[in-house]
A and B are shown apart, each in its own frame.
Chain A
Amino acid sequence: MTKHTLSVLVENRSGVLSRVAGLFSRRGFNIDSLAVGVTEDPEVSRMTIVVDGDDYIVEQVNKQLNKLIDVIKIRTLESSDSVSRELALIKVNATPASRTEIMQIVEIFRAKIVDVSKNTLTVEASGANEKVTALEDMLKQFGIKEIVRTGTIAIERGNRFIKAGNSEE
């Protein structure tokens, strides 16, 4: 099983998310992550969906998503031709003794401390999925209280872009 990233433009209407999510569950497709947000056109939202599966599954996901009336356009993003990022907020136990070490790790990962209390630090990290996971692994030793991850968003490199109209390159 490999991971595939789909960039999906959908009508920004109520019910779209449930249509897409429902389709995945009833067709037995596995969603790794799904991130939704509005695009430069307020009537259009973009979903970035990371799917676990072989080529057959990805083709089926593509075709079945295309059948949804509210789905405008789908593109499978190749990792070599796209930039992908994920944002994570990690709340980790921090004692006066461990605080410095945590901050060093955070620095190495070019992450940020965004909140501090007597016995916790909250770290904001962004990067490719693997980087966030690596940071999480490093922080586990201190005791992670809570993690919030956005799921991957991705955009194509260079001049290529996906738009709802026909002005696609």
Chain B
Amino acid sequence: MKLTGAQVLVKSLELEGISTIFGYPGAAISPFYDALLDSKLKHILTRNEQGAAHGASGYSRVTGKTGVCVSTSGPGATNMITGIATAYSDSIPLVAITGQVQLDLIGRDVFQEADITGATEPFCKHNYLVKDINQLPRIIKEAFHIAASGRPGPVVIDVPIDIQTQTVEFKYPQEVEIRGYKPNYKGHPQQIKKIAEAVSKAKSPLICAGGGVISAKASEVLTKLAERCGIPVVTTLMGIGAIPGSHSLNLGMLGSHGVYSANYAVNNTDLLILIGARVGDRALGTAGKIAQKAKIIHIDIDPAEIGKNVSTTIPVVGDVRLVLEALLEIVKAGETEQWVSMVKEIKEKRKKPVDSQTNNVNPRLIIDRLSQKLDVDAIMATEVGQNQIWAANNFRAGKPGTFITSGGLGTMGYGLPAAIGAKLGKPESTVVVVGGDGSFQMSMPELGTIKQEEIGIKIIILNNSRLGMVRELQKNRHNGRYSQVFLDCNPDFVKLAEAYGFNAERITNNTQIDSALDRFLADDRTYILECVVDSEEATV
């Protein structure tokens, strides 16, 4: 069967089991959009290419499938770059397809030409510039394989417009053979044995669960391990949901923006078991100090993460789920009762009472109340800034993959389009996005996408009329010399919602929270709840 390059792209996406893609058309990708008309693929027209990549990312996080985003050449592709980098930082599998100017014009700086394989090289797992139509089916197959296997990540396929119109006898490859890419899934049995020994001897072991636990679908086995061996669990920002938020062994998020109980445990453990966590500076900035007192086990699919930021006593390279399953078969619990009861007690004692100041809305209180009202399948997406931390520390994720945030790159404007992707991936789940007034406005045009797709997204804007996290940083680090953090002339968000035909309301104090949340969650339609927050409110 002879197909054009554009048809090959569409057909291959179908064969990969893709049903929804996110994108924005343009001249250099126009043959693809033409071919799309003859396909059942659902295309979500975002309002900016960055929203397409974030949407695909949110979709991927809730479905476990590879997300697909499409843009044209030049500015379309450069707009998408932030989304690709965001996915790379958080190891989210994406395939990004970008149009490119015709092959023989590459390098001549023609209209809407940009070197996208060059530009994305530092923050994608791999990329391709298609130079031969005959290679296109293989390249697409490889791209999907690379994106989803090993440590997942984004792969970019840059397709010149003439490749899209040339024809080829189409045969989609069944297998891939990439000699330079062979991820190791099965952990070394000898190393796993060593972990089991270390666990049985430890008096105060601690699991630190990262995003890798969620992407490896290892939450269940991790929870079993923690329960059977009496090991408390702290999570990174990306690891939220790796163990249920309400689980008694879950001590919460660690790190500079984490909770006391989690950091206490990290500083007093004698065996720190890092699982699918990359020892980021925000989570374990003092890893070196911890390593002086405690043995460190590091389990990760990516060998390059092991030993990068902390020296490790027992390293294991492999799929987190397979390693933990093997470990669970042989491990015996140590004597940890004293340690467990101590950290649980600290967790209870140090739980910050959510104060009920009445001048404004307490952001912690509203997330806490919201969390109580949501069912276990509900998904929370966040923007970046104070809102992200308030959400992280007060939302109790019911299941893995229900807390969606830009953990590594910290991309403002991620939450809203990611929530759109999440809702399209799991239409039956309630999807809430929590944003600040600053970050919400970064992707605010995506409200148009919500309207067009007629989906219900629950939007909470924690409005402190500030770029709150930067304001706090300037307060603490620059002696309160506030520079460019004021957003006192924000739009009227309620009127803005009305312009799109969404329900909305503004609340200004804590007594309004409960009834407002009930209206907010009453049906499955989009609702913007603006909460006026004290401009001096602290992050933690």
Contacts and interface: CB of A to CB of B under 8 A. Distances in A.
Contact of B122 (A10, A26, A73): A26
Contact of A72 (B121, B126, B180): B180
Q: Interface range on chain A: under 10, 10 to 19, 20 to 34, or 35 or more?
A: 20 to 34
Given A10-B180, A15-B117, A69-B146, 5 more contacts: A15-B129, A67-B302, A70-B180, A72-B180, A165-B179
Q: How large is the interface on B (under 10, 10 to 19, 20 to 34, 35 or more residues)?
A: 10 to 19
A82 interface: no
Contacts of B125: 69
Nearest to B128: A15
B121 A69 contact: no
A66 B129 contact: no
Interface in A40-98: 56, 59-60, 63-64, 66-73
Interface stretch (B208-216, B229-237, B303-311): B303-311
Contacts of B308: 60, 63
Given A72-B179, A72-B180, A67 B304 contact: yes
Interface string B131-155: 0000000000000001000000000
28 contacts: A10-B180, A11-B180, A15-B117, A15-B121, A15-B129, A18-B118, A18-B121, A19-B121, A22-B121, A22-B122, A26-B122, A60-B304, A60-B308, A63-B304, A63-B308, A64-B304, A66-B303, A67-B302, A68-B180, A69-B125, A69-B126, A69-B146, A69-B180, A69-B181, A70-B180, A71-B180, A72-B180, A165-B179
Contacts of B179: 72, 164-165
B178 interface: yes
Interface string B293-306: 00000000011100
Contacts of B121: 15, 18-19, 22
B303 A69 contact: no
Contacts of B146: 69
B89 to A, nearest CB: 14
Nearest to B126: A69
A56 B308 CA distance: 9
Nearest to A72: B180
Interface of B: 117-118, 121-122, 125-126, 129, 146, 178-181, 302-304, 307-308
Nearest to A19: B121
Contact of A66 (B122, B178, B304): B304
A100 to B, nearest CB: 51
A34 B121 CA distance: 20
Contact of A63 (B122, B126, B129, B303): B303
Contacts of A26: 122
Interface string A117-148: 00000000000000000000000000000000
Contacts of A64: 304
B307 A59 contact: yes
Nearest to A44: B179
Contacts of B178: 69
Contacts of A164: 179
B152 to A, nearest CB: 13
B65 to A, nearest CB: 21
A62 to B, nearest CB: 9
A72 B307 CA distance: 22
A72 B303 CA distance: 16
A57 to B, nearest CB: 11
Nearest to A15: B117
A63 B181 CA distance: 13
A164 to B, nearest CB: 6
Contacts of B303: 63, 66
A67 B317 CA distance: 14
Contacts of A69: 125-126, 146, 178, 180-181
Contacts of B122: 22, 26
Nearest to B303: A63
